[in-house]
Structure 1
Amino acid sequence: MRNFSTQIILILTVVLLGSSCAQKEKPEVKNYWLKAGVTYEIFVQSFYDSNGDGIGDFNGVTEKLDYVQELGANAIWFMPIMPSPTYHKYDVTDYKAVHPDYGTMEDFKQLLEEAHKRDIKIVIDMIINHTSTEHPWFQESKKGRDNPYRDYYVWAQKDTIADFLNKKVITLDSDNIRQWHDPGFGEDYYYGFFWGGMPDLNFDNPKVREEIYEIGRFWLEEVGVDGFRLDAAKHIFPDDRPTDNHEFWKEFRAKMEAIKPDVYLVGEVYDKKEIVAPYLPGLPALFNFDFHYTLLESFKEEDGMLLAKKQKEILDFYQEITPEFIDATISSNHDQPRLLNELGNDPQKYKQAISILLTMPGAPYLYYGEEIGMKGLKPDEHIREPFLWEEKDKDTGRASWIESKYSVDGEVEPLSLQRNDPKSYFNHYKTLIALRNSYPALAIGELVLPENEYPKTIMAYFRKTGDQEIFVVHNIGKTEVSFDIPKGFNEVIFGLGDGVNTSGNLTLGANSTRVYLKD
């Protein structure tokens, strides 16, 4: 009888422990959009070609929405989708249409509908700082000083151009020496911050602002997108008029929220935090370029706390402006060399960089193809090469608009081969996104830096929210180091590389990471 009772107790104990372990292994997965959700950046032209013309398209993205969902992303940001004479489409010719290479507006609306069924939000690139020189507004504007569209752009008369030529300085955004351009008829010059094919709109003209607000209404109300990524947000007005820039974006936000109260707006303000922060009242989400560059610097210098301290400094600084800000963190995007190239094609270092991105605070952006280790260097076309879905002879959806130079078979393993490899880049991304979406502290928790000192190559930080606390530690150096971990952190919920914990003393290998949940 005693043996039977003991067996029953043991069985119940095992069942209960098993149930408890199962709950720990599979915590509830949540969607933290807008504040801390994961957004997947797609260049449609290179993503998936559904009709065999060599160019990715909307229907191709629709076919791959289950893949985006499988990866764990909560939203998609589309690089420009409007008609344009260039491959990148950052010079728009029609703000209320889609590029015919990508499909029809009905195709795009079908994509939206299918994305929303999967609880995936859609954000589109909105390029309002400038248009194409082929836009009908500019074609009218250049006809003469009395044309009704003349004041839609910024013009300088030929006899005063000398006063303007050196007015603007070169910034991080532009490599142009001269930003005033001769349209070819020898009378006046127009202003184009980025290059001559992109004339800047004149936002001192109320008619221009109303045109832009109507364009926003069209996409939010008639088409149904969830928000906008605002290109070149710092350059609506000249650099010597920052207050006017700030006020414009407040007005823009108010106009968009009147149409769609939960509209998502993320701005590209490519500068240091002191310049970026004042844009927050108008653009509640801003890209954190400092994160990208400091991440790379940390690896180069093998200075573990460099990024953690920088991030804490930025978050505290933004908090003083508004507690409602959204920190859009990035490890790469369409303007920068692919992250794997930046890290010397080191697989372990690459995995660790992503481990840092996805365990830090913020609303991270993932650039398409990074999750399979795509490669790419300047010029920009080769940072935007076609996604590798299958091995080349089987890849019927691979775009071919450009001959890939870096992301080629033999250099990058296609998704189909990575899916079944637990050690692949794809499964590394997928695991970390699921981890982030499963532990509130990792998604929306406060960033707290440790008080005690660690070896130089150690990056350590706490993430805290409610009754959950997580300790994250990375050794970004080339050799293993040993140190004591805080008491009460015994459960490892994620590990990368080598590490041995002996009674609270952790020996962590080169480019290795541990994430602990507090008991």
Structure 2
Amino acid sequence: MTVPQRPWWKDGVVYQIYPASFKDSNGDGIGDLNGIISELDYIRSIGVDVIWICPMYDSPQVDMGYDIRDYEDVYRPYGTVQDMERLIAETHARGMKIILDLVVNHTSDQHKWFLESRSSQDNPKRDWYIWRPARYVDGERKPPNNWVSNFTGSVWEWDQHTQEYYLHLFCPEQPDLNWENAETRRAIYKSAMEFWLKRGVDGFRVDTVNMYSKGEMLDAPVTDPGTEWQFAGYQYCNGPRMAEFLAEMNQILNKYNAMTVGECPNTPDMKRVQEYVSAREKQLNMVFQFDVVDVGQGPYKFQTTPKNYTLPQFKGAIARTQALIRAPSDGWTTVFLENHDQSRSITRFTSDAPQHRVAGGKMLALMMAALSGTLFIYQGQEIGMTNFPETWEMSEYKDVDSSNYYKMVAARTKHDPDALEAAHKSLQHLARDHARVPMSWSTAPYNGFSPPEATAQPWMRPLEDAAVCNAKQQQSDKASVLTFWKHMLQLRKQYNDLLVHGQYDDLDVENEHIFVFSKTWQGKTALCVCNFTDRVQSLEFLEALRNEEMELLVSSVDARVEHELAAYEGRIYLPAHVEASNIK
């Protein structure tokens, strides 16, 4: 019997690149496409199959490239369209695939479409964006509803010239496109998708994929009485025409055998997520659910005490995302702990203390490699980069999300020092900035991010710990986080059926110190056990779960003890004599 070949994106390992912070080839302090090309062999050596490039499009950079001025051009400090074509070719030449960020919920307010749309109320492109007249309450002009932006404040911006409001779920400089307009959709497909598919890209990570259909745009319930503007994510996500819009996009993608992974926030109903990723529904190949990275967050992301969660809560979040491929589902799932919007996983989920950071990085690598779905690694994660320290002042935080939050706290509390200290502490734990510092390549000037003769400082301050955490040193260090990642990705490919496609079951849900789960494939079972504490933990309880035929496949520490787990140690056990997968 011939086994059907699996789609390439199911078994792939994806490496996410944030262009501004990956590698600066020309010394201007900003990462660029030629810098990426220069490190493709390094990326391939990790065991990566696919690279994902964050927005490299022409942009005013209000939101680090997620405000796109021209889908068919490249942000000049990064390079040119010709440089992108070379990056695509060089990636393919190494046997890897390349996906881009598809940002089509909104554009920059400098995009030519929006410049036309706001030029007059009767412009042919007026309806390409979402315009509404004002409400008046006791004679005072008010926006059409009470929704709060993802970056604080109202989602509506008053346009003095045409005397209407336009919608922006993010910054005022990021007006939302009107997906209800079929002509707009056709223009999006041609300019943002086909322009790059024709040049050989293999798919897209689809930004804010469930926000295109906005529904009726009624007022959101009041959940924050201290402000006029209210959380509305459940109103503007997963609207009534989402299936139709995604099916339409899918027809374009199918022509190129292109993959999609959608960013899917504010979707607690897993049945809805299942529809998005169902093979039968033909909407998306997979999505990023935020259950895991949202663990421990308060009602507002930064109003959070660091490490304010329990291990059972973390396990529950992983179980929800793993359940997307549980039989009889025909869907697929993703595995990730970091991206450009998250702080570093070692800091968040283990410990970045000097004595624990390597152990924590290795354990998380082992856990991720043992989970089912397509695996995503973010640049620097493979060497164990951590958050920058609390001693860095607010001037080092460059992200609009961070600065807006700090300003909001200052305004609400009249610059109360205790409130500002708490805000700074929460940003040190959760801010997006931590993922955006320059990659630590070596102990050379600028951590090897820029050439030694660079004339400009890096756009963000490099970390101060390159002496103990850099890619060059770790490539020749057998005990490094990078070496362990390489080993785990080899094992993941070797035991592909069990580790990538196996059924996940949590075996000790309420254990607050140890995470133990099984992976099952056609009668074979693997066992993964991880100590999420900085103390030795007994393994005696595990004997009841292991039969005598289980053998240790891998441990994340070198000097292991049979019946106990070291601090932040992870292990995988396999049935004796289990055969490696027949990988196609």
- Is this a same-fold pair by TM over 0.5? yes
Q: CA offset at residue 303 of structure 1?
A: 5.5
1:336 corresponds to 2:342? yes
In structure 2, relative to structure 1, the CA distance for the partners of 1:352 and 1:242 (3 Å cut) is same
Partner letter of residue 251 of structure 1? E
Distance 1:442 1:296 in 2: 29
User: Aligned residue for 1:389?
Assistant: 441
1:312 corresponds to 2:309? no
Secondary structure in structure 1 of the residue aligned to 2:52: strand
Q: Which residue of 55, 64, 75 corresponds with 2:50?
A: 75
Distance 1:309 1:510 in 2: 22
Cα distance per residue 1:203-246 (max 9 Å; x no partner): 11111011112125524542110001111112112235622123
In structure 2, relative to structure 1, the CA distance for the partners of 1:448 and 1:293 (3 Å cut) is same
User: Aligned residue for 1:147?
Assistant: 123
Q: Larger radius of gyration, structure 1 or 2?
A: 1
1:165 corresponds to 2:143? yes
Partner letter of residue 551 of structure 2? E
Q: CA offset at residue 468 of structure 1?
A: 4.5
Q: CA offset at residue 412 of structure 1?
A: 5.3
Segments of structure 1 that go 5 or more residues without pairing to the other structure are: 1-29
Q: Which residue of 266, 275, 281 corresponds with 1:271?
A: 266
Q: Which residue of 105, 108, 118 corresponds with 1:129?
A: 105
Partner letter of residue 227 of structure 1? G
CA contact (8 A) 1:331 1:354 kept: no
CA contact (8 A) 1:496 1:512 kept: yes
Distance 1:77 1:433 in 2: 18
1:419 corresponds to 2:475? yes
Moved more, 101-110 or 269-278: 269-278
CA contact (8 A) 1:227 1:265 kept: yes
CA contact (8 A) 1:58 1:107 kept: yes
CA contact (8 A) 1:43 1:78 kept: yes
Partner letter of residue 248 of structure 2? E
1:59 corresponds to 2:59? no
Secondary structure in structure 1 of the residue aligned to 2:293: helix
Secondary structure in structure 1 of the residue aligned to 2:70: coil
Partner letter of residue 408 of structure 1? E
Cα distance per residue 1:456-503 (max 9 Å; x no partner): 4222122222464321111223332132151144432210236433xx
In structure 2, relative to structure 1, the CA distance for the partners of 1:170 and 1:208 (3 Å cut) is same
CA contact (8 A) 1:376 1:406 kept: no
CA contact (8 A) 1:237 1:245 kept: yes
CA contact (8 A) 1:449 1:461 kept: yes
Secondary structure in structure 2 of the residue aligned to 1:291: coil
1:437 corresponds to 2:496? no
User: Aligned residue for 1:460?
Assistant: 516
User: Aligned residue for 2:202?
Assistant: 226
Secondary structure in structure 2 of the residue aligned to 1:290: coil
Moved more, 481-490 or 413-422: 481-490
User: Aligned residue for 2:504?
Assistant: 447
CA contact (8 A) 2:324 2:331 kept: no
Distance 1:319 1:209 in 2: 34
Cα distance per residue 1:158-215 (max 9 Å; x no partner): 46798973635348xx143311102343611111111210000011111101111212
User: Aligned residue for 2:362?
Assistant: 351
**Structure 1 length-normalised TM:** 0.83
1:372 corresponds to 2:367? no
CA contact (8 A) 2:102 2:193 kept: no
Segments of structure 2 that go 5 or more residues without pairing to the other structure are: 215-234, 299-305, 389-396, 403-431, 577-584
Secondary structure in structure 1 of the residue aligned to 2:198: helix
Distance 2:548 2:472 in 1: 41
Question: Counterparts in 2 of 1:173-184, with a 5 A limit?
Answer: 174-184=150-160
User: Aligned residue for 1:3?
Assistant: none
Cα distance per residue 1:16-75 (max 9 Å; x no partner): xxxxxxxxxxxxxx9984114211110112112222332222222111111111011111
Q: Which residue of 516, 528, 533 corresponds with 1:472?
A: 528
In structure 2, relative to structure 1, the CA distance for the partners of 1:206 and 1:403 (3 Å cut) is closer
CA contact (8 A) 1:115 1:121 kept: yes
CA contact (8 A) 1:46 1:56 kept: yes
CA contact (8 A) 2:446 2:458 kept: no
In structure 2, relative to structure 1, the CA distance for the partners of 1:69 and 1:489 (3 Å cut) is farther
Aligned residue pairs: how many?
479
Partner letter of residue 243 of structure 1? P
CA contact (8 A) 2:26 2:450 kept: no
